[in-house]
Amino acid sequence: MQKYGLIGYPLGHSFSKNYFNQKFESENIDATYLNFEIPNINIPYKEQVIPYLDDLDEDARLIGAVNVIKFTKGIFGKKLKGYNSDIIGFKRSIEPLLNETHRKALILGTGGASKAVFQGLKQLGVGA
């Protein structure tokens, strides 16, 4: 069985556990999604975690922030690769709403998610 999860505190507000467990069940995927509540991890570390990773996918590298870490086993031990799913969700939600008149956008914020929004807009041809 594969294990997925969310690390942080508090996690009572997160919909991820129920969403992914229902998705795994409906798709007959042998996996579980757990919440790992760790009291001293209470703010996003999307940027600070990067030096601890072995590799980044291209979007995460361009954004400079990760929110998904894949653990794999190799011949020299475990490997950690960082990804950014914020860009995927943002692009898929905004792209159907864009047309040729949308040339610029204002991004409010400077954290990891706003960096993903910036990169997503750039990939969609919208300046920020």
Which residue among the candidates 3, 17, 23, 46 is catalytic per the annotation? 46
The gap between the terminal CA atoms of the chain, to the nearest Å, is 42
Unique residue bearing structure tokens 């757990």: 34
φ and ψ at 2, to 5 degrees?
-85, 150
Note if 46 is an active site residue: yes
Q: Cis omega before residue 10 (within 30°)?
A: yes
Active-site positions?
A: 46
